[in-house]
Amino acid sequence: LYVAGVIPGPGKPSLDEVNRSLKLVVQEMKSFWYPGIFYSRTSMYPQGRIYRAALVPVICDMLAARQVSGFSSATSTFFCTACLLAIQEIENIDIDRWPRRDVFEHRHHAQCWRDADTSAERQSVFEKNGIRWSELLDLPYWNPSLYTVVDAPHTGYLGLFQHHCRTVWGINVEIEGGDGTALRLKNPIHRPANSVMRHWLEVIRRTEDPDQLKSALSQRNCYKNVLWHICNDNGLRHLKALKEVHEFDDETYRRYHQKFFEGRSKFRALVAYKKIYLIALCDELGLPEYGKKEELAALLIHWVGTSSTVHRNNLAAVEKNFASGKNQRHVLGRSIMEAVYEDMKKTRLPLWVSRAPKDWGTPSRGKLTADQWKVICTVHLVITLIRIWGTPSSPESLRFSRMLTNFLDMVKAVSILNLRVTSHMHIQRYNFFAKRYVGVMKTLYKDVAVKPIHHMALHAGEFLRVFGPVHAYRTLAFERLNHTMQQQNTNSKFGELEMTFLRSLCRISNVAALVSHDATVTNFVSRMLKRHRTNVGEDSRGTLRGSLQS
């Protein structure tokens, strides 16, 4: 392992500032690529030897990889480092139809960004193409879309496993779990007036051309809550991709509603409201919903003047409806988690397998490591859920059977991705299970959005084909190196501790080389090393053991 250096702190470099550090590495690697570096003498070649080297994969988590390689963020329009699929089309899982990135076009856009005269011009180029200049592009052979790899642990263990358990299913040990069908909404979506719903349903029915329909649904008077409830009523997924759809803000409506029923809304204030909120108030009171804002406001003021009592009940009803948005759709509820905990007590794991916390899923436990998510999803949940959901006993339990099959597809895909061997058959099976998992997830959980992590998981098979088994290019070894560096004694002075890290790593490397190549030294220090390992007490199970065997 060659440690080129440590980027100065105290925080991570912002955006293109990382290029200053990358440039130092790139300058050395260019010499290694051509013409190569001549060593006058080595242990195997007394007459000298020319060495050539190349810097190929960028191995980082999703955020760092985009910064180092010059891509825009994972939430931008061009969110993917491997293809040009727009984030508005992220629900598209037909891999063959994804537009591919072209390395020459990428270099052209990056050079345009680099050569821009002003910051505003650079920002304009970046907003259009989602590409910045990276010093790695100065390497003539470097392909950013091919060499920015998908990291298996972040994609599988900390990505798919964690997202499925915490977001798709949800964990709550204090309540009984459900079947994942109830919508988990932070803020309930206000249902528009029936006349509004009927109008837009009729528009959808009579518009056959997709482009015309998209244009019609992008009008300013077609709000997101209209389309949301149309999708919900017809069992469709709740997409969040149309930027043109205008929001109905429930918090704003709650505030307007309370002011109105407390008698604090005057005519001028009502006219200042957006028309959609006036329509919602009229619909709730059974008043006509047609006309200009001034006419609707006049109707509401007249209703207040003719009502003998303040309509407090309406406010309570709406508050109740808002509160109902907290309905629990958690799948991993009290009964399931208790069964998992009981099975964990009875499960005997091999010595090299890490153990999951006994209270995982509780608020007090907090975050879990990649190792812990791995054993939870590949061992403990598999054992318990197959026992509970594996044999459907009623029509209602068929959904749980489908949920189990979908979960196992994810487990199979991640397990194949992290195998120490791969082949064309392995890649085909990975692609099959990964694609089926995302596709069925969209059907089973209609309120769960497809995330960039799902999209990148569908690309992972391509990197298996190019780079082979992932143990050669995953972040686990480098995360442990970070941990090793953090254990070094420093004076905590930024500008000095970076050199301390580098000096300590060089000393460790020199000692390791001396111990491994000198039999006398090895015999002398063997007992000391054994005692040291005992005192350190490092857990060498799980992914660490796998890396040690690489």
Answer whether residue 189 shows pLDDT above 50.
Answer: yes
Angle in degrees, CA 453, 79, 249, rounded to 5: 85
pLDDT at 450: 92
Amino acid at 407: F
Distance CA(158)–CA(153), nearest Å, equals: 6
Reported as a pLDDT band with limits 50, 70 and 90, residue 61 is: confident
Reported as a pLDDT band with limits 50, 70 and 90, residue 72 is: very high
- Rounded to 10 degrees, the C-alpha dihedral 522/527/530/531 comes to -140
More confident residue, 108 or 307: 108
pLDDT at 220: 66
Greatest Cα-to-Cα distance within the chain, rounded to the nearest angstrom: 105
* Lowest-pLDDT choice from 74-78, 175-179, 253-257, 378-382: 253-257
Residue 446 near residue 236 (C-beta atoms within 8 A): yes
Residue 537 near residue 35 (C-beta atoms within 8 A): no
pLDDT per position as a tens digit, 369-401 = 999 999 999 999 999 999 999 987 777 788 899
Average pLDDT over residues 403-426: 96
Amino acid at 141: Y
pLDDT at 528: 73
Reported as a pLDDT band with limits 50, 70 and 90, residue 310 is: very low
pLDDT per position as a tens digit, 231-243 = 777 667 655 544 4
pLDDT per position as a tens digit, 513-537 = 777 777 777 777 777 767 666 665 5
More confident residue, 282 or 160: 160
pLDDT at 299: 80
H/E stretch holding 342: helix 334-346
Distance CA(329)–CA(168), nearest Å, equals: 10
* Lowest-pLDDT choice from 224-228, 282-286, 532-536, 537-541: 537-541
Average pLDDT of the residues of the chain: 82
* Lowest-pLDDT choice from 68-82, 341-355, 364-378, 522-536: 522-536
Answer whether residue 315 shows pLDDT above 50.
Answer: no
* Lowest-pLDDT choice from 238-247, 367-376, 416-425, 504-513: 238-247
DSSP-derived 3-state class of residue 171? strand
